[in-house]
């Protein structure tokens, strides 16, 4: 069995779902928000489920990140890193 990896697109889907916690989201909401096809979102969700990063509910089918933690520190860090890289590119 091959080990799943968190590719940039899979991470993008995961990060969107994580930002919605503790609410569940549908694959259609994810596709609309990230401007992706439903098929692509479904594929990425399957990887995340296999990696045990998501929990799933039915009727209707919806998802949320497992083991929810606050992502605000990560969001702040990524924003700061982006600013630093942008400044570095200007010089």
pLDDT reading at 4 higher than 80: no
pLDDT confidence bin for 11, thresholds 50/70/90: confident
pLDDT in tens, 16-61: 998 898 899 999 999 999 999 999 999 999 999 998 889 999 999 9
* pTM score: 0.71
Q: How far apart are CA 21 and CA 71, in angstroms?
A: 10
The answer to whether 60 and 26 have CB atoms below 8 angstroms apart is yes
Tokens of 72: 């605000």
What domains, with CATH codes, occur in the chain? 8-66 (1.10.10.10)
pLDDT in tens, 63-72: 999 876 555 6
């Amino acid at each position: 069995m091959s080990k799943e990896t968190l590719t940039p697109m899979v991470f993008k889907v995961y990060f969107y779902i994580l930002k919605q916690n503790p609410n569940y989201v549908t694959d259609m909401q994810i596709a609309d928000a990230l401007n992706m096809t439903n098929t692509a979102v479904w594929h990425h969700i399957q990887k995340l489920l296999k990696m045990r990063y998501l929990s799933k509910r039915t009727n209707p089918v919806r998802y949320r990140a497992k083991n929810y933690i606050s992502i605000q520190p990560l969001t702040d860090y990524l924003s700061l890193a982006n600013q630093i890289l942008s400044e570095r590119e200007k010089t």
